[in-house]
Amino acid sequence: MAGLAAANRAAELGLSVAMLEKAPEEHRGGHTRYSESFRVPSTDADIEQYGYEFVTKADYSADDFYDDIMSQTNDRADPEIARTLVDNAGETVEWLTELGVDWDMDPLNVGYTVARTFFEGEELVSTLVETAEKNGTDVYYKTEARELIRNDDGRVVGVKAITDDGFVELESDAVILGAGGYESSPEKRTRYYGSDYDAMTVRGSRYNTGEAIDAALETGANATGQWGGAHMALIDAESPPVEGGANRVDGYQYGVLLNREGDRFFDEGEDARAHTYAKLGRIIFEQPGHEAYIVIDEPLKEHQRATGPGGWVKGDSLEEVLAEVGCDNPETGAETIREFNESTDPGEFDPDSLDGNDTDGITPEKSNWALPIDEPPFYGYRVTGGITFAFGGVETNNCAEVIDTRGQHIPGLYAAGNSVGGLFFDNYPGGTGLSNAAVFGKIAAEEAADEIAPTKTSPTNQ
């Protein structure tokens, strides 16, 4: 998304643009290919003029968006970066709509309490690549940037890349990094997260392995952000090891989560799904066997959405369901749920807001949506943790300019999206990643256009 936004905006502004895509054409698009939503301040965007409307919340403001970012990152997010993001997100979504992006307002999404726009990732990528090409952008597939070229004045003046024909150099007046993070590298996951994380499922592209970040750091960019942090989501345990996309299981917050030993380990109702799912994957991955089980009863089934290959297990007793789903101690798990049931005394259930139905006398508590799981048939779903993107990257300012280890802007170098650190820490407000990439990809192109005169870039064999 960052690269596509930058390429389209730069082409609109009359620059000659070369977009390097590490993947082959049939796998183009990075993680955006496997994504599905933007978080948007609905009060700042008018997409009804294009025939669309926002999902779930029509009065979500930029200030609400900002407060969510700061709250979910424990106030560690760079406030200037966050403020720039939320203040530009609305107009950026309008701009993407004008470029031809088709929003899919899926009414089946459950548990959202903020304004979102949804899309089909592969279609969005195709639309934005085609639009960029129509405006003159040259796209080079299977071309991996490995080195930034700086002149004697310290300005970035090109890229050295590897292709099927060997190394090539592209001379340019500016370079924008929009190459994602390092999350798809088993070596880097092990380095930053722990010895078992080479086995963690990668939800998106296999090509996001961090070489562009490495190149920027090697040329003097400052490393910033939470390198040991990441968006790690709760996903279907049957997801493929890489490129499984969303494979999501929504609605877990209304039920109970058990580990292999039959114990609860998390406050399922701590907050809305959009504010817990991205940290819950790591918590689940740290459980025995890297997995857990969602357990619900018949009344809660209508509030679930599952898009992965695993599917629900159904049974007349809790023990039957837990045994079938893979719990090592189904009797213990059933007793855990019965103790949970005894701790509940719910009032009116409201799946669309924090309803205050909490437990009393158990640990961990459940803060909202604490409903007894006691009306058969019962259902179970096996889930694990999957990594979406890493939180470390290069430092930028709110103009998308890359900052070096002296605190100075590196002339001619910009970055956007998940190649950048400093915005996300500890947790992640759902839908913010794509908004961030689009906003700062667009800003990077505008800043580059202000700095340089248009020139033609083309690869030459070296």
- Residue 394 CB partners (closer than 8 Å, separation 6+): 177, 213, 216, 217, 221, 222, 223, 224, 402, 403, 415, 419, 420, 421
pLDDT at 237 > cutoff 80: yes
pLDDT of res. 459: 46
pLDDT of res. 66: 97
Question: Of all residues in the chain, what percent carry a pLDDT higher than 90?
Answer: 84
- Amino acid 445 reads A
Q: Which of 53-57, 190-194, 457-461 has the lowest mean pLDDT?
A: 457-461
* Cα–Cα distance, 172 to 183 (Å, whole number): 28
pLDDT at 52 > cutoff 90: no
pLDDT at 230 > cutoff 90: yes
Q: Which of 7-16, 173-182, 231-240, 450-459 has the lowest mean pLDDT?
A: 450-459
Structure tokens at 309: 């290959």
Q: Which of 33-37, 64-68, 278-282, 442-446 has the lowest mean pLDDT?
A: 33-37
Q: What is the mean pLDDT of residues 309-335?
A: 97
Q: How far is CA 428 from the centre of its chain?
A: 8
- Asked if 445 and 177 count as a contact pair (C-beta separation under 8 A), the reply is no
* Cα–Cα distance, 8 to 131 (Å, whole number): 7
More confident position, 187 or 50: 187
pLDDT category of residue 460 using cuts at 50, 70 and 90? very low
More confident position, 105 or 245: 245
pLDDT of res. 48: 79
Q: Could you identify the residue written with the tokens 């403020």?
A: 83
* 294 backbone dihedrals φ, ψ, rounded to 5°: -85, 130
pLDDT of res. 96: 95
pLDDT of res. 104: 74
- Residue 162 CB partners (closer than 8 Å, separation 6+): 143, 144, 146, 168
Q: What is the mean pLDDT of residues 54-60?
A: 69
pLDDT of res. 372: 98
| Range list of H helices, 208-342 | 211-218, 277-285, 318-325, 330-342
More confident position, 101 or 57: 101
Rg of the chain over Cα atoms, rounded to whole angstroms, equals 23
pLDDT digits (tens, 9 = 90+) for 413-449: 999 999 999 999 999 998 899 999 999 999 999 999 9
Torsion angle of C-alpha atoms 57, 59, 62, 65, degrees rounded to 10 = -30
pLDDT digits (tens, 9 = 90+) for 371-391: 999 999 999 999 999 999 999
pLDDT at 458 > cutoff 50: no
- Asked if 88 and 39 count as a contact pair (C-beta separation under 8 A), the reply is no
Q: What is the mean pLDDT of residues 87-97?
A: 95
Question: Of all residues in the chain, what percent carry a pLDDT higher than 70?
Answer: 94
pLDDT category of residue 118 using cuts at 50, 70 and 90? confident
pLDDT at 268 > cutoff 60: yes
User: Which domains, and CATH codes, for the chain?
Assistant: 2-229+391-461 (3.50.50.60), 231-385 (3.90.700.10)
Residue 178: how many other CB atoms lie within 10 Å: 28
Sign of CA dihedral 79, 112, 205, 278: positive
pLDDT category of residue 45 using cuts at 50, 70 and 90? confident
pLDDT of res. 55: 61
pLDDT of res. 114: 66
- Give per-residue burial for 280-292: e unless 16+ CB within 10 Å, then b: bbbbbbebeebbb
Residue 141's DSSP bridge partners are 21
pLDDT of res. 191: 97
pTM for the predicted model, two decimal places? 0.93
pLDDT of res. 53: 67
- Interhelix angle for 2-12 vs 121-134, to 10°? 20
Q: What is the mean pLDDT of residues 124-152?
A: 97
pLDDT category of residue 57 using cuts at 50, 70 and 90? low
pLDDT of res. 85: 98
- Asked if 38 and 438 count as a contact pair (C-beta separation under 8 A), the reply is yes
Residue 148's DSSP bridge partners are 159
pLDDT digits (tens, 9 = 90+) for 169-187: 999 999 999 999 999 999 9
